[in-house]
Amino acid sequence: MPIAFTIKEVDHIRYRPTKAAEEILAEFRSRLGLSDKATAARLAIGRSLDEGCPGRDEMTALDGAEKGNAIEGVHLFADDSDIWASAICCIMPTVISSKEQFRRLVEYHWHRGAVLLEKDLVDAGRSDVDFLVQFAGRLPAQTEFPGIAAPRTATQLVTKLVSVQAFRNRPAWAVNAAGGNGLVVISGRPGSGKSQLALDMLAQVASQGVRFLFFDLKGELEDAPEDRRQHEKRDKFFSATGATYLRLIDQSLPINPFSIGRNAAERAQIASEIAHLCRCFASQLGANQEKAIRDVYQDLATPDLDSLVTGIANQGGNGVGVAILEKISSFKVFSPGSTAEDVEDWLGQSHVIDFKGLGSDTEAKSLIVAFVLNTIMRRLSRQIPVADGVQPLQMILFVDEAHLLLPKEGKAGLLGSLARQGRSWGFPVWLASQDADAFVTKGQNAVDFSELADCGVHLSPATLSESQQRQILGQVVNRKLSDGEGVIRLKGVTSVGHIRQYYRDNGEVAPIT
C-alpha cells in the first residue's frame, strides 16, 4: 500500500540497524567487495522483501534490540528512494501512515534480511560462488511496483495493411503503409455528417483488428433510447467494434495518468511535464502555480490526481489557478493510484470515452484528454520498425471536437508530437473539428495539421476563404456541394465525392487498390 508522506521525508529519516545486522553485513561487505555500508544494507532489505510482509510480533520483538550506527535515507537509498519506498510499502496490507511506522519497517527488513543472508551463506557451504548463484536464482525476470512504468514489448500489433475508405465508390487507402504518418483530419459544421463518417472509419479499422480510443467530447454515442435510430446505430457500433463505453462523470476512468519514473531525474522530468500541461490547458494557471504543481508532484511517493491536489492544498495553494485540478479530482475522473489499472492493460481493447457529462466545461475536457494522451505517449512511445512496407499498428487515437484542444496546441505541442511520431509508435492520431481552419495552429509549437495529414476530409468548405481553401484543401472549390458530399485531400490530391456514413455503409471494408 502507498505511504502518506513524501519522498523528501523518506530521505531525511535516520535509520538504525540492529547491532547484529551490522556485524553480519560487515562480513558480506568483505566477502563480496561491497563499496559501503548502504550497499550491504540494500542487499539485506531486498533479501527480506523477497520473504513478503512481516508479522507484527516479529517487528515488536526487535524494539529492544541493541542498535548500530544510523544512516540517513538519502544515503541509504541513494537516488532510488521512490523505488525502495514503493517496494517496502506495496507488500503491506494497510497504508503506511507515519514516518515512524515506515522507519520501523525499514529497520526490520534490514535485520531480517541480514539474518537470511547469513543463513543463505551457510546453506551454500560458505562458498561465495555458490551463494551468489543461489542468490541470483531468487531474482524475478521482471519486477513491477505500483506507478512505475516497466518496459514492455508491444503486443497485439496489426502487421498487415489496414484499408480505410472515406468516400463512397472511391478507392481505399492504406493508413499504415510505409512513408506516411497516418494522420487524418475531418472538418464539418454540425449536421454535415462528420460524426457519421468518423464512426464508419472507426468501424472499418476495427473490423481489421485495429483497436481505437475515441474521445467523444460531445456525446455522439451516448445512450438515447428515445431516439430509435440513434439507439440502433449505437448498439450496432458497439457490437461490431467490441469497444467499451464509459461516460464521465457517471463513471471513472480505470487508469491513473501519473507515473513516478525510474529515477530522480525521470521523476523531475515527469513532474515538469505534468505541470506544463496543466498550465497550457488551464487558462488561469500562472508560473508560480506551475512551479507549485511541479514541486508537489516531485515529492509524491505514488502520484495521482487526488494526492497532487491534497499536496498543493497542504502547501497553501488555492485559487482559480488550481481549481480545475480540484474540480477534476472531485469528479473522480481518474482512479486512485492504489487501485488503477495499468494503462497498457486498459488499452488492450477499444474504448469510447463520453465527455458529455462535463457539459460546456471545455477547459476540464481538454485537460483530461491531454492527461490521457500524455500518459499514452509516455508509456507506449517505442519505435516499431517497418516490415515489408507496413508500419504495424497498436491502435488509433481519435479526438472528436478537436477544436477544443487545438487553440492550446501552440503551447503544449502534444497533438503535434502525436501527428508526427504517433504512426512510428503504432498509434496514429485522427482529429475531427467543426472548423477546418482550427487545424492550422499558432504559437511556439505551431502545426498545420491539414497540410501534414495523409488524409483530410472537409465537409463545409464554403466556410473557408479562397486563401484558406488553397492552404487547407489544396485548391479552391468553386461549386456548391450537395448533401452528403465533401472534399477529400488524399496524399496531396484533392477531389470531391460522397462521404461514407455509418448508418448507411456499416463500416464495411473496401479493398485497397
Give every CB contact of residue 23 below 8 A, 6+ residues apart in sequence. none
> What is 58-79 written as a DSSP string?
HHHHTTTSPB---EEHHHHSTT
Closest C-alpha among 198, 191, 186, 293 to residue 241: 198
Give every CB contact of residue 2 below 8 A, 6+ residues apart in sequence. 86, 89, 90, 95, 96, 146, 301, 302, 337, 338
| Type of residue numbered 240 | A
The whole-angstrom separation of Cα 449 and Cα 430 is 10
Cα Rg, the chain, nearest whole Å: 27
Q: Which residues pair with 498 in a beta bridge?
A: 485
What is the structure's pLDDT at 5?
60
Examine the pLDDT at 310 and tell me if it is beyond 60: yes
What is the structure's pLDDT at 286?
83
Examine the pLDDT at 143 and tell me if it is beyond 80: no
What is the structure's pLDDT at 211?
95
- How far is C-alpha 435 from the chain's CA centre? 28
- Give me the mean pLDDT over the 331-340 stretch: 92
- Give me the mean pLDDT over the 145-163 stretch: 61
What is the structure's pLDDT at 320?
54
Examine the pLDDT at 466 and tell me if it is beyond 60: yes
Range of lowest pLDDT (78-82, 110-114, 121-125, 450-454): 78-82
Global confidence as pTM: 0.70
The whole-angstrom separation of Cα 424 and Cα 393 is 9
Which range is most confident: 179-183, 283-287, 350-354, 406-410? 350-354
Closest C-alpha among 408, 459, 467 to residue 433: 459
The whole-angstrom separation of Cα 22 and Cα 41 is 9
- Give me the mean pLDDT over the 345-365 stretch: 92
Pinpoint the alpha helices (H) of 413-457: 414-425, 449-452
3-state DSSP assignment of residue 396 = strand
What is the structure's pLDDT at 431?
95
Examine the pLDDT at 28 and tell me if it is beyond 50: yes
Q: Are 93 and 3 contacting, i.e. CB atoms less than 8 angstroms apart? A: no
Please state whether beta strands 493-498 and 351-354 pair in parallel, antiparallel, or not at all (unpaired): unpaired
What is the structure's pLDDT at 7?
74
Burial 471-499 (b: 16+ CB within 10 A, else e): bbbbeebeeebeebbbbbbbeeebeebbb
Q: Which residues pair with 493 in a beta bridge?
A: 490
What is the structure's pLDDT at 383?
85
Residue that has been written with the C-alpha cell 510482509 in this structure: 53
Confidence band for 4, pLDDT divided at 50, 70 and 90: low
Examine the pLDDT at 148 and tell me if it is beyond 50: no
Mean pLDDT of the chain: 86
Examine the pLDDT at 293 and tell me if it is beyond 70: yes
Range of lowest pLDDT (16-30, 89-103, 162-176, 210-224): 89-103
Examine the pLDDT at 155 and tell me if it is beyond 80: no
What is the structure's pLDDT at 144?
41
- Give me the mean pLDDT over the 299-326 stretch: 83
CB atoms within 10 A of CB 107: 23
What is the structure's pLDDT at 406?
86
What is the structure's pLDDT at 513?
65
What is the structure's pLDDT at 319?
59
Confidence band for 186, pLDDT divided at 50, 70 and 90: very high
Examine residue 255 and say whether the peptide bond preceding it is cis (omega within 30 degrees of 0).
no
Residue 455 host element (H or E): strand 455-458
Examine the pLDDT at 362 and tell me if it is beyond 50: yes
* Cell reading at 349: 481493447
What is the structure's pLDDT at 153?
38
What is the structure's pLDDT at 146?
39
Q: Phi first, then psi: what are they for 383, rounded to 5°?
A: -65, 125
What is the structure's pLDDT at 145?
39
